[in-house]
């Protein structure tokens, strides 16, 4: 990271921004880069989520961290409609993500600011009725939580 003089007179602050798309897990075999089966898609997804959270913890040594992206995991029953998938392997993926967020000192800022609300970032448009989930998050290191001015989910794009 490059250090620059701050125009506000305050010392510069290091910050890392990570954007990620985590594939959805499946029961299908996952083939590694050598072509060998390395478990299934659910196992790959959990390994990927672990490595991203480990990266976030490592980057925190140098300053603030923002990790945004599509995680393909709903964190709570508030984040899905009509129901949270509680069976394995979904429950394990959720528990591991939540535990690593807490252990790493990360906050999911939308949920911090909207503790009781429901909001969704994914919709199954082919489903009968509403099938929706919140699987996109902005995780931030605890040191910048007090500086966040807002966190919202847009219902539609501004030009629609």
Q: What is the mean pLDDT of each run of 10 residues along the chain (160 residues)?
A: 41 83 92 95 94 95 95 94 92 94 94 94 86 94 94 72
Which CATH code of 1.10.10.10, 3.40.50.300, 3.60.10.10, 3.10.450.50 fits the domain covering 15-147?
3.60.10.10
The C-alpha torsion from 99 through 102 and 105 to 110, rounded to 10°, is: 110
Q: What is the pLDDT of residue 37?
A: 96
Which residues lie below 8 Å from residue 32, measured CB to CB, with a gap of 6+?
A: 38
Cα separation, 160 vs 157, in Å, equals 5
Cα separation, 148 vs 160, in Å, equals 27
Q: What is the pLDDT of residue 5?
A: 41
Q: Is 46 helix (H, G, I), strand (E, B) or coil?
A: helix
pTM for the predicted model, two decimal places: 0.84
């Amino acid at each position: 990271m490059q250090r620059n003089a701050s125009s506000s007179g305050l010392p510069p602050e290091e910050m890392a921004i990570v954007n990620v798309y985590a594939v959805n897990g499946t029961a299908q075999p996952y083939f590694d880069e050598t072509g060998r089966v390395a478990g299934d898609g659910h196992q790959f997804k959990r390994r990927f989520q672990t490595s991203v959270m480990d990266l976030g913890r490592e980057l925190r040594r140098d300053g603030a961290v923002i990790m945004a992206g599509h995680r393909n995991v709903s964190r709570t029953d508030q984040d899905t409609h009509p129901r949270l998938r509680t069976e394995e392997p979904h429950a394990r993926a959720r528990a591991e993500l939540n535990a690593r967020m807490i252990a790493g000192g990360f906050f999911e800022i939308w949920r911090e600011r909207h503790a009781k609300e429901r909001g969704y970032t994914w919709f199954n448009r082919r489903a009968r009725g509403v099938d929706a989930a919140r699987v996109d998050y902005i995780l931030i290191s605890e040191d910048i939580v007090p500086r966040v001015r807002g966190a919202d989910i847009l219902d539609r794009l501004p030009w629609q």
